[in-house]
Structure 1
C-alpha cells in the first residue's frame, strides 16, 4: 500500500503546510498581543496629555470652560469612584500601572464605575480636586472574522504557491527516478532533460553521460558478438557439408553433432546480441504456450514430459517472438539440466502477470543462484554439456526486462529449478506502435 507522504512531493507538502500553519498562528498571536499593547500605550499617552492639559488650563485660565467630557470634581464628592477592592482585568491593571508610571509620584488613579462612559479619575499631590478625562476603551468590539478571513486567504495563496514550487522542484527528480528504473530493468532509456537546481542538473548530466557510455559499450559488444557469430555461420555450414561426405559413419556423426552444437552456440550469440524492440504482434500467452509445447513435442518426441497449468486467461498477452524465445530457452535449459516433468504455469499475481517454468531436477546450488543469469557463466559441471555457452538464462532475463518484466531464478522447496517472470499489467499489454517506436517514443512521452 502506497503511503501518501512516502514520496518527495508528499513530504515537501507536509513540511510546507506545517511551516505555514506554524508561522501564521505565531503571527496571529503576535499581532493580537502587540495590538493590545499598542492600544494600552495609546490610551495612557492620551490620558496623560489630557490630564496635563487640564492642569495647565486650571493654572492659566481658570475662568474658561473645560472641553466636553473633561471636568474637575471636589475631593469629597459622592461621585468619586471607590478604590477597587477585588481583582481587575489584566489590561485595566496594566493601564493603571502604566499611567501611574507616567504621572508624578503619589498620584491616585481610579477608573469610573462600570456602565458609564469610560473615563479615568486622577488626583495628584498638588491637585485641589479630581481631574476626570475620557479614555479610549481598552477592549473595543473588534471583528475577528475579518482577520481570520484575511489570514485564511493569505494562507491558501501561500500554500498554492509553495506547492507549485515544490512540484517544480521534484518533477525533474521524478523523471530521473523513472529513467533510473528503466535503465535498471534494461529498457531503452532516453536522455533526461537537465532541469531544476544546479546539483540536480549536475546529477542528471552525469546520469545521461553514464547511460550513453554504457549504451555505447553494449552496442559495441553486441555488434562485435553479432559479427563474430554471423561470420561463423558460413564456415560451419561448409564444415557440416564436408562432414556429411565422410565415409566413416561414426566419425561423421560425431563431427555433425559438434557442428550442430557450435551452430546452437552461434544462434545464442545472435539472440543475446539482438537489442532492438520486439515489433511482433502480441499473442495470448496461454494459447501460445500450448502451441509451443505441441511443436516442442513434435520436433523432439523423446523429450521429457511438459505439464501446463495455465490460469492467466486471454488478458495476458506478450509479443510473439519474445514469448517464443523465452519458452524455447527455458525448455532447452530444463531438458539439458533438469528432470521431468517440466511445468509451465501462468497466473495473475499481485504485481502483474506471472509466467514460470519449473523442473524437478537438482536445481542450482544456493551460492550459484546469483550467478545463474550472468552471461557466459557456466556453473558446476553437473549443469554443463556440449552446445551450451552459459547464455540461456541470461537471454531469458534480458528478454523479460526488454518488455518491462522482472525475472526471478530460484530452487523449488520440493526440488528443481524455477524461473518466474513477472510482467506488470500495463507493460504486458503495451500497444504495438509504442513497442516498435522504442526509445524515440519514450523520449517524446517525457
Structure 2
C-alpha cells in the first residue's frame, strides 16, 4: 500500500516560514516550562499544604467529637440544636463530583483534602462533600453517645487559590513570548527579505543597491558576501562589454575594408567594373552573413540587460512589426486581445518578437499569425505558422544557444542563437518561452511576460 500521503501530512502541517517556526518553538518552550512549573507547584507545594490543612481540620473535628460525646442526653440535644446537627442525611444530597475542565484544580484540591481528611478520622466519622449551588461539608460526630451529622458551609473564597492567577499569568507570558519572538524574527527577516529582493533584481538584469551590513553578525556576513558577488558581477559585465565592443570593432573594420576592396577591384582591362559579377555577388553574400552572425552574437551577449523597462502598448508593437513584415510580402494574421499598458523593455521585446516572426517566415512560410491575450496576470504573445512541426523533445533544445531544428539544416546564415535570444529576453522580463503544436498543424511559439515588471 502506498504510504506517501501519510508521510506528507506532518510536513504539510508544519510551519514553512522561519518566523512561524520560531514563534511556535518559542511558545512551545514557554508552555513546557509553565507546565513543569505548575506540576512542581501542585505536587510539591500545594498538595502538602492541603494535606496539612486536612490533618489540622481532622484534629479539630475529633476535639469537637470528644467534647460532645460525654454530654448528657438533654445537654446533647441542646448542643445538637445549636450546631444544626441532624440525625440523618437529607435524601437529596448530591456528593458526586462532575467533570469541570475549567476548575480542574479546584476539583483536584477537593479530592486531596477529602482523602487526607478521611485517612486521619476514625472509621465511624465519615465525611461527605455536598455538591450543588450551596456546598457543604458533612461530618458525623457523636453527641451524647448518638451519631449526628453536622455541616460546615463552604464559600467560593475558601476554594480559590493562586493557581488560577498562575494559569492566567502563564497565558499572558506565552502571549508576550510570542509577540517578542515575532518582533525579533521580523528584525531578523528584514535583511533576509532585502537580500531576496536584491537577488530577484539581480536575476532580472537590474543593479540593486548594496545591502547594509550593520545587522547581526551572521546576516552581515551574508550581506557582505552578496555585495562582493554583485561587485564581481559588475566587473565581469564591464569586462564583457569592453571585450564585445573590441571584438565588434576589430572584426567589422577588416570586413568594411574587404567590402571596399571588392567594390574597387578593377577588371583585366583596368575598368572599375567587377571582373566576375558572380564571384563578387557571392563574396558580398558571405560578408552579409558574417555581419549577421556577428550581430546575433552581440544581441545574445547583450539581450537588453541595461535597457530600462518602460510602460508600453504590446498590441501597438505587434501591429507595427506585422505592418513591417507585410511591406516585405509576409502577411501575418493578427488576433489582438485586450492587453493593458504595462512595463517592458521596448527594444528587447521588439527584438524578441521580430526573431519569432522571422523564424515563422523562414521555416513556416504559410499560415503566419500572431495572437495576444492576458491570462493569470501574464501578457501572452503567440506566433504561429503552418510549417512542418518538430518533435516534443526537439522543441526545448531549440532554446539552447547554437541549437537548430532539423527543418533549418538546409538554411544557411544562422547561428542557432535566435531562439536563445528570445528565451533570454523573456526570462529577463520574468517570463518564459514555450513551444506547442498548433491546432490544424504547424507550430506556435508562446511568450509569457508578467503584467507588472520591476523597473529601476
Distance 1:116 1:232 in 2: 105
Match of 2:183 in 1: 164
For residues 134-188 of structure 1, the C-alpha deviation after alignment (integer angstroms, 9 at most, x for no partner) is 9894863649997786566444433322332343454454445445555555555
Shift, 1:330, TM fit: 2.0
Which of 232, 236, 254 aligns to 2:251? It is 232
Distance 2:66 2:200 in 1: 86
Q: Is the 8 A contact 1:47 1:134 kept in 2?
A: no
Matched, 1:43 2:72: no
Distance 1:241 1:265 in 2: 20
Q: Is the 8 A contact 1:310 1:345 kept in 2?
A: yes
**1:262-281 correspondence runs (5 A):** 262-274=290-302, 276-279=305-308
Distance 2:33 2:206 in 1: 48
For residues 211-239 of structure 1, the C-alpha deviation after alignment (integer angstroms, 9 at most, x for no partner) is 66666556545543443123211111122
Which of 252, 260, 267 aligns to 2:280? It is 252
Query: Please, which moves more after superposition, 147-156 or 325-334?
Result: 147-156
Query: Please, which moves more after superposition, 226-235 or 199-208?
Result: 199-208
Count of paired positions = 404
Q: Tell me: CA distance 1:296–1:286, structure 2 relative to 1, closer, same or farther (3 Å).
A: same
**1:145-184 correspondence runs (5 A):** 153-182=172-201
Q: Is the 8 A contact 2:371 2:382 kept in 1?
A: yes
Q: Tell me: CA distance 1:191–1:6, structure 2 relative to 1, closer, same or farther (3 Å).
A: farther
Match of 2:397 in 1: 371
Distance 1:356 1:258 in 2: 33
**1:8-87 correspondence runs (5 A):** 8=17, 11-12=20-21, 15=24, 19=28, 37=47, 40-48=50-58, 50=60, 72-74=67-69, 77-78=76-77, 79=80
Shift, 1:255, TM fit: 0.8
Match of 1:98 in 2: 116
Distance 1:210 1:412 in 2: 43
Distance 1:233 1:184 in 2: 32
Provide the alpha-carbon RMSD of the alignment: 4.9
Q: Is the 8 A contact 2:322 2:331 kept in 1?
A: no
User: Structure 2: which 5+ runs fail to align?
Assistant: 1-11, 98-106, 265-273
Q: Is the 8 A contact 2:431 2:450 kept in 1?
A: yes
Match of 1:388 in 2: 414
Distance 1:28 1:40 in 2: 18
Which of 358, 377, 387 aligns to 1:361? It is 387
Distance 1:354 1:95 in 2: 78
Match of 1:292 in 2: 321
User: Structure 1: which 5+ runs fail to align?
Assistant: 55-68, 436-446
Distance 1:193 1:310 in 2: 46
For residues 98-143 of structure 1, the C-alpha deviation after alignment (integer angstroms, 9 at most, x for no partner) is 135446xx564345997898686678xxxx9999999894863649
Query: Please, which moves more after superposition, 389-398 or 335-344?
Result: 335-344
Q: Is the 8 A contact 1:310 1:347 kept in 2?
A: yes
Query: Please, which moves more after superposition, 145-154 or 373-382?
Result: 145-154
Distance 1:290 1:232 in 2: 35
Normalised by the size of structure 2, how large is the TM-score?
A: 0.68
Distance 2:413 2:249 in 1: 17
Shift, 1:398, TM fit: 2.0
Q: Tell me: CA distance 1:212–1:116, structure 2 relative to 1, closer, same or farther (3 Å).
A: closer
Match of 1:439 in 2: none
Q: Tell me: CA distance 1:176–1:318, structure 2 relative to 1, closer, same or farther (3 Å).
A: closer
Q: Is the 8 A contact 1:229 1:269 kept in 2?
A: no
Q: Tell me: CA distance 1:208–1:116, structure 2 relative to 1, closer, same or farther (3 Å).
A: closer
Match of 2:451 in 1: 425
**1:108-119 correspondence runs (5 A):** 108-111=124-127
Secondary structure in 2 aligned to 1:421?
A: strand
Match of 2:370 in 1: 344
Distance 1:399 1:112 in 2: 87
For residues 19-74 of structure 1, the C-alpha deviation after alignment (integer angstroms, 9 at most, x for no partner) is 4897699689969976984663243143256469x5xxxxxxxxxxxxxx998212
Secondary structure in 1 aligned to 2:67?
A: strand
**1:126-137 correspondence runs (5 A):** 137=154
Q: Tell me: CA distance 1:7–1:205, structure 2 relative to 1, closer, same or farther (3 Å).
A: farther
Distance 2:357 2:16 in 1: 42
Q: Is the 8 A contact 1:357 1:420 kept in 2?
A: yes
Query: Please, which moves more after superposition, 69-78 or 138-147?
Result: 138-147
Q: Is the 8 A contact 2:19 2:185 kept in 1?
A: no
Match of 1:283 in 2: 312
